[in-house]
């Protein structure tokens, strides 16, 4: 069976794969994601192309050092009011972001790619539209107090698989993509490539 590698330090992505019954190795890509992101944004790259480029960067970096293995790379981009939103650096920034998103809709783009020996062999982008309900300041303060810095791992400062679901009134799109990895298309691709049993 083909060796699978997740090119990510994301606990949520690893948990999704574990829950699906996959056996894989975690190899963080150690790329300067922030610099690459800033350069691509400065060039005017579209949000979906940015997500795809960052996912590719991670997968290719790891796959060049692990020839023959199938390497999974993924990245998420949050788009709000036409702007690309980066991860919050602290809880104060998270509070500001949640207050901005409150009562509004935003888009979450999640790219996933598979690379082998430095070349991309498959790619997919999932798009979701999320409508956040109008949040009271008390609710935001309570939410942040109970979750603390753990929410900083999510670009939107919510973790939909937990209490973060309470932030929303409507969600349209790939649920697993929102969690960090479009799982069903990925599993289908791995089966097509013989990396999973059919």
Q: Which residues are marked as active site? A: 75
Q: Are the C-beta atoms of 150 and 159 separated by less than 8 Å?
A: yes
How far, in Å, CA of 141 to CA of 171, rounded?
23
DSSP secondary structure letter of residue 195? S
How far, in Å, CA of 79 to CA of 50, rounded?
11
Q: Residue 157, exposed/middle/buried by CB under 10 A (0-12, 13-18, 19+)?
A: buried
In order of 62, 84, 86, 166, the CA distances from 158 in angstroms are 28, 16, 13, 9
In this structure, what token pair is assigned to residue 48? 């979906």
In this structure, what token pair is assigned to residue 2? 């083909």
Q: Which of 84, 83, 186 is nearest to 126 (CA)?
A: 186
Q: Residue 53, exposed/middle/buried by CB under 10 A (0-12, 13-18, 19+)?
A: middle
């Amino acid at each position: 069976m083909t060796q699978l590698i997740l090119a990510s330090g994301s606990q949520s992505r690893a948990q999704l794969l574990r829950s699906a019954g996959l056996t894989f190795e975690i190899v963080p890509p150690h790329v300067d994601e922030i610099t690459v992101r800033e350069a691509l944004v400065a060039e005017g790259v579209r949000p979906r192309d940015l997500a795809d480029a960052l996912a590719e960067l991670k997968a290719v970096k790891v796959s060049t050092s692990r020839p023959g293995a199938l390497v999974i790379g993924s990245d998420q981009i949050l788009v709000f009011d036409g702007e690309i939103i980066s991860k919050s650096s602290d809880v104060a920034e998270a509070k500001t972001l949640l207050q901005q998103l409150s009562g509004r809709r935003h888009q979450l783009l999640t790219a996933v790619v598979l690379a082998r020996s430095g070349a991309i062999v498959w790619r997919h982008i999932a798009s979701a539209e999320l409508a956040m309900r109008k949040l009271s300041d008390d609710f935001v303060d309570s939410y942040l107090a109970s979750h603390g810095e753990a929410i900083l791992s999510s670009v939107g400062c919510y973790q939909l698989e937990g209490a973060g679901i309470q932030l929303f009134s409507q969600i349209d799109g790939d649920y697993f993509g929102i969690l960090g990895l479009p799982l069903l298309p990925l599993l289908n691709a791995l089966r097509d490539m013989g990396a999973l049993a059919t």
